[in-house]
Amino acid sequence: MKNSVVVIVILLLAVVAGILTFHTFSNRKAGMHDDMNGNACYCGKSNHLSSEIGLSKKQQAKIEPLDAEFNAKIQAICKILCEKRVGLSQILANNKDFNKDVEAGVENITRLQAEIEKETARHILDVKKVLDSKQAEKFRSMLSDKLCGEMNK
């Protein structure tokens, strides 16, 4: 019974993660997407930042290649992540118990999700290098509000 609950939870997490991935990429043009809590997250679009924190054209020109590199890395990781989720769903379909195959599938997905978080953190820090102190504070506040939402209040 306990193993069945674990498998159901993993399936639910995989479905939610798949929905979030689709939602993220379908809204990427706006530079923002929502996480599962409805909080908007920065996705590497400086045109959105420009209006939020007042980037100059020179700053925008410096950030645009950072955005392009970031988006290419994230898209590559997400493609692999989707493939691993499909693989996990096949493993779950062929197993009744939580075993080392299921665990390995989950760990593969977890590593890729961690890589996305690392790339996002690197990108945020790279963008901050282009900002002046006032813009950096607005950026920090914007990220804090958007990433943490109601938890921040």
11-51 per-position pLDDT tens digit:
555 554 555 554 444 444 334 443 333 333 334 445 667 88
The predicted structure's pLDDT at residue 51: 82
Residues 98-122 pLDDT 10s: 999 999 999 999 999 999 999 999 9
Residues 42-101 pLDDT 10s: 344 456 678 889 999 999 999 999 999 999 999 999 999 999 999 999 999 999 999 999
Q: How far is CA 78 from the centre of its chain?
A: 9
Find the range with the poorest average confidence among 17-21, 132-136, 138-142.
Answer: 17-21
Whether the predicted model's global pTM rises above the 0.75 cut? no
Does 76 or 5 have the greater pLDDT score? 76
How far lies 117's CA from each of 12, 112, 123, 132, in Å?
A: 21, 9, 10, 24
The predicted structure's pLDDT at residue 5: 55
How crowded is residue 55: how many other Cβ atoms within 10 Å of its Cβ?
23
Q: What phi and psi values does residue 43 have, to the nearest 5 degrees? A: -120, 20
